[in-house]
Amino acid sequence: MKTSAILCAALATTALAQPHFNGNKRRHVHNKHAKRALVTEWVTETAYVTEYYDATSTVWVTPGAESEEPEPSNTKYAQFFEPEKPTVAQPTTTAAPPAPEPKAPPPPPTTPTPTPTPTPEPTPEPVTEEPTEEPAPESPAEGSKSSDSGSSSAPSDSHSGDLTYYDVGLGACGFDDTGKDNSDNIVALSHLLMGTQSNGNPMCGQTITVSANGKEVVCTVRDKCMGCEPEAIDVSKAAFLELFGSLTAGRTEVKWWFN
């Protein structure tokens, strides 16, 4: 496009430089007698146009030239020593193993627990108490005697009722028999039989014979049984053991009568 513009400009200048004969004819008509010399002037105009073209250039670099460029002071940047960083990271890994050390404390609580378990030893104590009662019948009770059922027969005025045993103490007759459970043959008659009188009751101090299990035992009236039926009696452990040999019977029916 720029070259075509230059050509058009050159043609335009040549056209302007040519003489206009039509005008001259008119002039010659009016000035027939004036002769003038024709002078032709050529004007040459030069136009300079600057054009830019995209061009690429290839630069050949030899291996020797590359080695020369890194020679400047840029090599000083190698002062950063990166290998030192991994050395700092290593101690962090070594610090981790001491964490499992607190595993040792859990075992101590296990040792104290089994020791208190063997405490249930006091259980055999009640067993020892029972055999101590057995030798009691050997000592004869004061004012009492025992015999087999074959030695005597029950009188016509005998009574029949339940027999139980109890822990003797201060009785309704005013006698303090504390501690005589396994030594004396003591009996408490029903309050329905003895009546309301306690101290000085005519039945206090009397003896009765109790017959059961093929045996007989003589007991002294020294108390009143407030929960017994009229024919029921309550005796000390010594009398009960003399008849049955143990306290397992608990309640059993017997015959008894006043001596």
Cα distance between residue 245 and residue 248, in whole Å: 9
In a domain, 121, yes or no: no
In b/e form, how buried is each residue of 159-185, taking b as 16+ CB within 10 angstroms? bebebbbbebeebbbebebeebbbbbb
In a domain, 113, yes or no: no
Residue from 153, 233, 150 nearest 186 by CA: 233
- The DSSP call for residue 170 is B
In a domain, 195, yes or no: yes
- 3-state SS track over 35-80: CCCCCCCCCCCCCCCCCCCCCCCCCCCCHHHHHHCCCCHHHHHHHC
CATH code of residue 147: 2.40.40.10
Number of domain units in the chain: 1
In a domain, 34, yes or no: no
Domain that holds residue 204: 139-258
Average pLDDT of the segment spanning 45-73: 60
In a domain, 51, yes or no: no
User: Hey, what are 221's tokens?
Assistant: 């009236």
Phi/psi of residue 176, nearest 5 degrees:
-95, 100
Quick check: 165 and 239 in contact, CB under 8 A?
yes
pLDDT of 241 > 70? The answer is yes
In a domain, 245, yes or no: yes
Average pLDDT of the segment spanning 36-57: 67
Say which range, 12-26, 178-192, 245-259, has the weakest mean pLDDT. Answer: 12-26
Q: What is the pLDDT of residue 44?
A: 74
Strands (E), the chain: 146-148, 159-165, 186-190, 207-212, 215-225, 233-235, 252-258
The 10s digit of each residue's pLDDT in 194-233 is 999 988 899 999 999 999 999 999 999 999 999 999 999 9
Residue from 219, 215, 236 nearest 144 by CA: 219
In a domain, 111, yes or no: no
pLDDT of 11 > 70? The answer is no
In a domain, 62, yes or no: no
